[in-house]
Amino acid sequence: MRPPADLLELLAEGPDMPEESVRAALEDPEGAKAAVGAALAGGEDLLWGACFMAGMLSDSWFLDPLLHLLDAQARNDPALRHVVLAALARLGTPAVEPLLERMLDREADEIRRLAIAEALLELTAAHPECGADVARGWIAVVDSETASPLERAAAMACLDDLDWKEAIPTC
């Protein structure tokens, strides 16, 4: 399905896109799939637009198909995944942090887990108000009996970067 021209124009607007236009363009779930496909095929600018669009909606019905397609593409183009993870991290909407955490929970590949962890760290840097929750998540990884040594080391590095004692003064 080819997305309508107005949807492509909307994606190209990035952060300037009006929320009512986003909701109107994506009323049909097929419209969301078309937007995701256009973003993946259209290069970095459209990917940023799709992430802004998803962040505006503050729910996962659009983010989930975006990330599902992204996972499929990641095997061929890991850089693409990194661009979208970074975009999601900078958005910092209420939907993004739990979504990244769900991705982290579901991901088996350690290298991809580290990329998601890096995105969570970027989210914390861009939005310090998320710091305490993210730090608690890293502490849980360090304390986990099922975490691999690589995951524990990555979690410790993230805690060091986060300055978790400031993020959670009660620790």
Per-residue pLDDT of 127-165, as tens digits, reads 666 556 666 666 777 777 777 777 777 777 766 665 555
Q: What is the pLDDT of residue 9?
A: 72
- DSSP line for the chain: -PPPHHHHHHHHHGGG--HHHHHHHTSSHHHHHHHHHHHHHS-HHHHHHHHHHHHHHTSHHHHHHHHHHHHHHHTT-HHHHHHHHHHHHHH--TTHHHHHHHHHHH---HHHHHHHHHHHHHHHHH-GGGHHHHHHHHHHHHH-SSS-HHHHHHHHHHHHHHTHHHH-TT-
Single-letter residue type at 162 = L
37-46 pLDDT tens trace: 776 666 666 6
The list of the chain residues with pLDDT below 70 reads 1-8, 11, 14-17, 19, 22-23, 25-29, 31-33, 35-36, 39-99, 121, 123-138, 158-171
Structure tokens at 170: 């009660």
Overall pTM surpassing 0.85 (yes/no): no
